[in-house]
Chains A and B, each alone.
Chain A
Amino acid sequence: MIKEVENPVLETHNLTVVYDRKPAIWNIDFTLPAGSIVGIMGPNGSGKSTLLKSIMGVVEPNSGYARLFNKPLDAVRKRVSYVPQRQSVDWDFPASVLDVVTMGRYPHLGLFRKLRSEDKEIVADSLEKVGMLAFANRQISQLSGGQQQRVFLARALAQQADLYLMDEPLVGVDAASEHAIIDLLKQMQASGKTIVVVHHDLYTASEYFDWLVLMNTRLVASAPLEEVFQEEMLRDAYGGQLTSMSKIAALLREKSFPMRHK
Chain B
Amino acid sequence: MNRFTHLIEFFRLEEPNVQIVFAGVFLLAALSGLVGSFTFLRKQSLIGDVIAHSILPGICISFLFAHEKDPLFLLIGAVASGWLSTYFVDRISSGSKLKEDTVIALVLSVFFGFGILLLTMIQQGGYGSQSGLDQFIFGRAASMTRTDVLILVLAFLLISSTVIVLFRGLTMLVFDPDYAGSSGFPIRILRSVLSSATVLTVALGVQAVGVVLMSALLIAPPAAARFWTNDLRKIVLLSMAFSVISALMGSASSYTSTGLPTGPWIVMFLTFFALGSAFLGRKHGVMRRLIRRRQNAWKILSENILKSFYYLSDGFTTQAGYSVAMVSKNTGINQLKVRFGLLLLKRSGSMNRSQGGWFPSSDGKIEALRIVRKHRLWELYLSRFMHLKPDHVHEDAEGIEHIITPEIESELLAELGFPSTDPHDNEIPEITEMP
Mutual binders A and B: yes
Interface on A for B, CB 8 Å cutoff? 20, 53, 56-58, 74, 77, 80-82, 84, 88-90, 93-96, 100, 103, 106-107, 110-112, 139, 141, 155
When distances are taken between beta carbons in the complex, the residues of chain A under 8 Å from B41 are 90, 93-94
A58/B178 contact (C-beta < 8 A), A20-B96, A94-B230, A106-B172 known? yes
Q: Which residue of A lies closest to B169 (CB)?
A: A111
7 A-B pairs with CB atoms under 8 Å apart are A82-B182, A88-B176, A90-B41, A90-B43, A94-B232, A106-B183, A111-B185
B229:A57 contact, CB within 8 angstroms: no
Kindly provide the distance from the CB of B199 to the nearest chain A CB, expressed in whole angstroms.
Answer: 22
B178:A84 contact, CB within 8 angstroms: yes
Q: Given contacts A57-B182, A94-B231, A103-B179, could you give 9 more A-B pairs where the C-beta distance is less than 8 Å?
A: A77-B183, A77-B184, A89-B176, A90-B175, A93-B174, A103-B183, A106-B185, A111-B166, A111-B168
B235: CB under 8 A from chain A?
yes
Most buried by A among B183, B186, B226: B183
A93/B169 contact (C-beta < 8 A), A56-B182, A77-B184 known? no
Q: Which residue of B lies closest to A102 (CB)?
A: B168
Interface size class of B (residues with CB under 8 A): 20 to 34
B347: CB under 8 A from chain A?
no
B230:A107 contact, CB within 8 angstroms: no
Kindly provide the distance from the CB of B293 to the nearest chain A CB, expressed in whole angstroms.
Answer: 18
Most buried by B among A57, A89, A95, A106: A106
A95/B168 contact (C-beta < 8 A), A56-B182, A139-B230 known? no
A96:B183 contact, CB within 8 angstroms: no
Bound Cα distance A84, B175 (Å): 12
A88:B226 contact, CB within 8 angstroms: no
A95:B178 contact, CB within 8 angstroms: no
Complex partner residue of B184 from A20, A88, A107, A141, CB under 8 angstroms: A107
When distances are taken between beta carbons in the complex, the residues of chain B under 8 Å from A106 are 168, 172, 180, 183, 185
When distances are taken between beta carbons in the complex, the residues of chain B under 8 Å from A94 are 41, 226, 229-232, 235
When distances are taken between beta carbons in the complex, the residues of chain A under 8 Å from B235 are 94
When distances are taken between beta carbons in the complex, the residues of chain B under 8 Å from A74 are 184
Bound Cα distance A90, B173 (Å): 12
When distances are taken between beta carbons in the complex, the residues of chain B under 8 Å from A81 are 182
Kindly provide the distance from the CB of B231 to the nearest chain A CB, expressed in whole angstroms.
Answer: 6
Bound Cα distance A262, B169 (Å): 34
A95:B175 contact, CB within 8 angstroms: yes
B231:A56 contact, CB within 8 angstroms: no
When distances are taken between beta carbons in the complex, the residues of chain A under 8 Å from B179 are 82, 84, 103, 155
B181: CB under 8 A from chain A?
yes
When distances are taken between beta carbons in the complex, the residues of chain A under 8 Å from B175 are 89-90, 93, 95, 100
B95: CB under 8 A from chain A?
yes
Kindly provide the distance from the CB of A32 to the nearest chain B CB, expressed in whole angstroms.
Answer: 18
Kindly provide the distance from the CB of B392 to the nearest chain A CB, expressed in whole angstroms.
Answer: 26
A96:B184 contact, CB within 8 angstroms: no
Bound Cα distance A82, B184 (Å): 11
When distances are taken between beta carbons in the complex, the residues of chain B under 8 Å from A84 are 176, 178-179, 182
B12: CB under 8 A from chain A?
no
Closest 10 A/B residue pairs (Cβ) = A82-B182, A56-B182, A107-B183, A84-B178, A77-B184, A58-B181, A94-B230, A89-B176, A111-B169, A58-B178
B99: CB under 8 A from chain A?
no
Q: Which residue of B lies closest to A109 (CB)?
A: B168
When distances are taken between beta carbons in the complex, the residues of chain B under 8 Å from A57 are 181-182
Most buried by B among A57, A90, A93, A94: A94
Complex partner residue of B95 from A20, A58, A90, CB under 8 angstroms: A20
Q: Which residue of A lies closest to B42 (CB)?
A: A90
B184:A110 contact, CB within 8 angstroms: yes
Bound Cα distance A141, B179 (Å): 19
Q: Which residue of B lies closest to A165 (CB)?
A: B182
B387: CB under 8 A from chain A?
no
When distances are taken between beta carbons in the complex, the residues of chain A under 8 Å from B169 are 111
A82:B95 contact, CB within 8 angstroms: no
